[in-house]
């Protein structure tokens, strides 16, 4: 398996485009994206756990239920949430507009929105540009689409991988947005995954659920879960592999490649948290089971006090133990150790295609050892915490299970960004 260029258009048969339709006054970058497969796709999706759901979420959940999709439309600048029957009709009109110019059924169109809640979507602006948007579909169009879904994101987020399944070359591509209102139930994110792998919608759904549990659902920026969270995957089968219809070696290979994609996207979201100055990764080892390990890691990276300490480059390990203690999970504090680690010139948000593959010198400092505080070098600790990506390494003594979660520091800029988000 190798990482490649191309994002959502890396797989065979997929094209994309993005353009400015004028959804939100004053925006100067693209605000509407279109992804299209030349062949119908097996499809699966996961959606916000918020009880309040945007109209586009309601429509897409209904449309994707039969496991067949062929296109996706996404706008930024307006969430189309809490907008009643008019909002429902706007989501449907978006699907119909795309279907009309693409020559497909409206029921086979994914519709997503992100932005301000409680304002009616100016759907006529999307409708009036849809023909132009479709006419510009291309393999290079992922470059236009990836920026069209951004809100407070400071960097686009995409990646793609090439792997071999059943003797055939299979591509998986992805793009997503997410910067604020991010918590462990997907977060305020729109994510679109495409693949030319031949795989049934049932197995696609199973693979997606398994992958999300250890990637997207292990990210927290501010503890908020949006009304619009949507993660979809479309598979058009054009790679020509024998269709994956059960759990076998080919399914395992697909899951491995999907996990590689989703880890990268999760880290890019965490590193680009609103106002963030560093990416925080928390690795828990030696837990009694995987569920516990992940829960402990999530509790640590979700703590406002931990996040604030990292902003101040303060090796305040006591806040980490405290967050583990109120997680609700069982572990032995007296058998627990904590270290901090980072690499020189580490990458926070993935300005390149990857996050985490660092070439600089790695430094580690242990601050807590089997329930006992250590007299550690504060200057070295501050230097480690000053890098763009910092790891919290937690060693428990309760078993052999591991788990990882990702977050970011809490800065003054987070308040500034969200203090006037609506206006």
Alpha helices in 18-176 (DSSP H): 55-64, 84-102, 123-135, 142-148
Distance CA 367, CA 118 (A): 47
Residue whose structure tokens are 């239920």: 65
Question: Which of these is catalytic: 32, 60, 163, 188?
Answer: 188
Q: How far, in whole angstroms, is CA 10 from its chain's centroid?
A: 18
Contact status, residue 270 vs residue 406, Cβ threshold 8 Å: yes
Q: Is 48 a catalytic residue?
A: no
Buried b (16+ CB within 10 A) or exposed e, 342-358: bbeebbbbbeeeebbeb
CA atoms 147, 18, 120, 89: torsion sign: negative
Buried b (16+ CB within 10 A) or exposed e, 194-205: bbbbbbbbebbb
**β-strand partners of 72:** 35, 110
Distance CA 167, CA 173 (A): 19
Distance CA 403, CA 40 (A): 37
In this structure, what is the dihedral angle of CA atoms 131, 132, 134, 137, given to the nearest 10 degrees? 170
Q: Looking at the annotation, which residues are catalytic?
A: 188
């Amino acid at each position: 398996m190798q990482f490649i260029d191309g994002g959502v258009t890396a797989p065979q048969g997929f094209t994309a485009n993005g353009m400015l339709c004028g959804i939100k006054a004053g925006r100067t970058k693209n605000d509407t994206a279109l992804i299209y497969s030349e062949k119908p796709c097996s499809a699966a999706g996961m959606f916000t756990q918020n009880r309040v759901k945007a109209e586009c979420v309601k429509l897409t959940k209904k449309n994707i239920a039969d496991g067949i999709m062929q296109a996706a439309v996404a706008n930024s600048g307006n969430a189309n949430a809490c907008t009643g029957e008019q909002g429902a009709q706007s989501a449907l009109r978006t699907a119909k507009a795309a279907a009309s110019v693409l020559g497909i059924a409206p029921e086979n169109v994914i519709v997503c929105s992100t932005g301000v809640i409680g304002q009616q979507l100016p759907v006529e602006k999307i409708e009036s540009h849809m023909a132009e948007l479709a006419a510009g579909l291309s393999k290079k169009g992922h470059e236009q689409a990836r920026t069209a879904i951004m809100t407070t994101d400071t960097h686009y987020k995409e990646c793609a991988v090439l792997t071999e399944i059943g003797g055939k070359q299979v591509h998986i591509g992805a793009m997503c947005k997410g910067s604020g209102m991010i918590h462990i139930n997907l977060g305020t994110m729109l994510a679109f995954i495409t693949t030319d792998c031949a795989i049934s919608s049932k197995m696609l759904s199973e693979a997606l659920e398994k992958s999300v549990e250890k990637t997207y659902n292990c990210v927290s920026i501010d503890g908020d879960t949006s009304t619009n969270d949507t993660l979809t995957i479309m598979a058009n089968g054009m790679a020509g592999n024998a269709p994956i219809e059960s759990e076998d070696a080919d399914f395992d290979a697909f899951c491995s490649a999907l996990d590689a994609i989703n880890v990268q996207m999760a880290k890019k979201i965490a590193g680009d948290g609103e106002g963030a100055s560093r990416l925080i990764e928390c690795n828990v080892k030696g837990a009694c089971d995987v569920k516990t390990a992940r829960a402990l890691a999530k509790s640590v990276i979700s703590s406002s006090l931990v996040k604030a300490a990292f902003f101040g480059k303060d090796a305040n390990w006591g806040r980490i133990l405290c967050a583990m203690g109120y997680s609700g999970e069982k572990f032995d504090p007296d058998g627990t150790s904590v270290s901090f680690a980072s690499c020189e010139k580490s990458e926070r948000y993935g300005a390149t295609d990857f996050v985490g593959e660092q070439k600089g010198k790695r430094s580690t400092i242990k601050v807590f050892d089997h329930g006992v505080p250590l007299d550690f070098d504060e200057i070295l600790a501050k230097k480690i915490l000053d890098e763009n990506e910092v790891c919290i390494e937690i060693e428990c003594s309760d078993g052999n299970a591991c788990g990882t979660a990702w977050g970011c520091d809490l800065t003054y800029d987070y308040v500034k960004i969200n203090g006037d988000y609506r206006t």
